Amino acid sequence: MASTFAGLSISTRGLFTSAAALAVTNNNISNANTVGYSRQVVNQQAVGPAAVYNGNYVGSGSEVTSVTNIHNFRLDQKYWRETGQLGELQTKSDMLSQVEAVIGDTDDDSLSAVMEDFYASMEDFASDPTSSATRAAMKEAGVAVCEYLNTVSAQLSQLKEDSNSEVQTAVDQINAYATQIAELNTKIRIATAAGSSTNELEDQRTLLIDQLSSLADVEVTQTVVGKLPNGADDVQISVSISGETLVSNDQAKQLECYENEEGMYSIRWQDTGTDFEPEGGQLKAYFDLRDGDGTGSQYKGITYYSNLLDQFASTFAEAFNTVHSSGYGLDGSTGVDFFAASDSAASITAANISLSAEVLADTDKIAASSSADGGTDNNENMNALIELCEESKLFGNSTAGDFINSIVSTLGTASEHAQTMTSKQSSFVTNIDTRRQSVSGVSINEETANLTKYEAAYNASAQMISVWQEIYQTTINMVNTD
């Protein structure tokens, strides 16, 4: 038969079990809006009869065996993998939008508009080649072209420097996350061995991996490598980026940046000195945007568009100078270049293109005439320059205007594609995260229902204690009466 005080013991166990469940429910509700928090549940089991061999078939109530957090590791893995791709796409989309803002399109602040003003000044010059006003206007229009190219080139260089700086920032963040994850692995292992709860520690680790996954392509594995002294599974967590181990249980490797031959950051492992090349995440995007020159299968990044502007500046200036230097200025001078490199470099680029010192100093040096004795109204060389600007073979099979439009069109298409892919990937990641939250997130409605359920169980156990007290009191009174 059951122990004399078995009923009170069972009721007391029920009281403690319900109280623990109420506490966990309260904790869930309190953390409903805590980022990274996973819903916790009480695991309880029935306690068997204390002495079956004595004919006791009544159970001994219930007990709490553990409090665990709920999450789906497979969904976590999928989320981390897709977040890395989103980080790469989002970074490229944002930077290409900035490149678009720098280069412009067909508005008044674009290269096309500046060149159109330059062509118009040439037309006015051709109609009145002796006018100091038209000569001054053409000079200023030429200066505007050079300044526009100089400014855009400088801004693109700054964007490239920004991407380079982001490489260092991302590496610092990755190192910090790796160190913290390794430290949490140690704390979790110690707490598990001691039989303590590791729920909050595991949530912190998951949140760190969430943040890490946007920086690089992350792969996380968990492996049971044995048993801890208390019999619990010894679970080892490893984190890899770009196929190389970053964190192995309590050990974290570190990355470092160093300047390469171009004066830009490259990355290597601190312990081995082996170069590291990111294969995903924001870090890969920074490299693609910074270095991608579009050759072969390379990404068309900032370098690609900078090279196109340099090609435009050098090709146009060289062709323009060839025709211009063959003509004659109002003062009879010849062999004068219209464009030059401001830093006396061997070749003209978008960064250094300028009007020649001769033209800047004296607009009479602008060669409109085709001969020294052609007369003051001779505009044949200026007409030749105008025809040059309309030459369909100036840039392969394109005019200068077509070449500019192709740059803008290529950039616009790439930016739009990046935005579209980012939007699709963002929706995909959101869908995965919604599924994660449906498993591990806190539902206020569900917790409210649990609150009612566990409160009712607690009250019922308390009532049972009162009932058993009355029974014991009645029994004691009966004994005392006898």
pLDDT (tens digit per residue) in 436-462 = 999 999 999 999 999 999 999 889 888
pLDDT (tens digit per residue) in 47-96 = 877 655 555 667 778 888 888 899 899 999 999 999 999 999 999 999 99
For residues 190 and 477, which has the higher predicted lDDT (pLDDT)? Answer: 190
Distances (CA, A) of 146 to 111, 312, 394, 445: 10, 12, 19, 66
Closest by CA to 9, choosing from 64, 62, 51, 66, is 62
Residue 52 token pair: 């079956």
Against a cut of 0.85, is the pTM above it? yes
Closest by CA to 74, choosing from 222, 242, 199, 181, is 222
Residue 150: Cβ within 10 Å count: 18
First to last CA, the chain: 23
- Amino acid (one-letter) located at 345: A
Closest by CA to 139, choosing from 124, 153, 121, is 121
pLDDT (tens digit per residue) in 345-391 = 779 999 999 999 999 999 999 999 988 775 567 899 999 999 998 88
Write out the H or E segment, with its range, that includes residue 410.
helix 400-440
Beta strand spans in 134-175 (E): none
Distances (CA, A) of 334 to 79, 317, 363: 69, 17, 13
Q: What are the beta bridge partners of residue 226?
A: 234
CA 360, CA 160: separation in Å to the nearest integer?
A: 32
pLDDT (tens digit per residue) in 388-445 = 988 878 888 888 889 999 999 999 999 999 999 999 999 999 999 999 999 999 999 9
Q: Which residues of 441-471 are buried (b: 16+ CB within 10 A; e: fewer)?
A: bbeeeebeebbeebeebbeebeebbeebeee
482 half-sphere exposure, CB direction, 13 A CA radius:
5
**CB neighbour list of residue 306: distance below 8 Å, 6 or more residues apart:** 153, 156, 157, 160, 350
CA 277, CA 55: separation in Å to the nearest integer?
A: 71
Beta strand spans in 9-163 (E): 40-46, 62-69
Domain ranges of the chain: 6-70+442-481, 100-157+302-414
Q: Say whether pLDDT at 230 is over 80.
A: no
Sign of the CA dihedral running 277, 281, 284, 286: negative
Residue 416 token pair: 């739009």
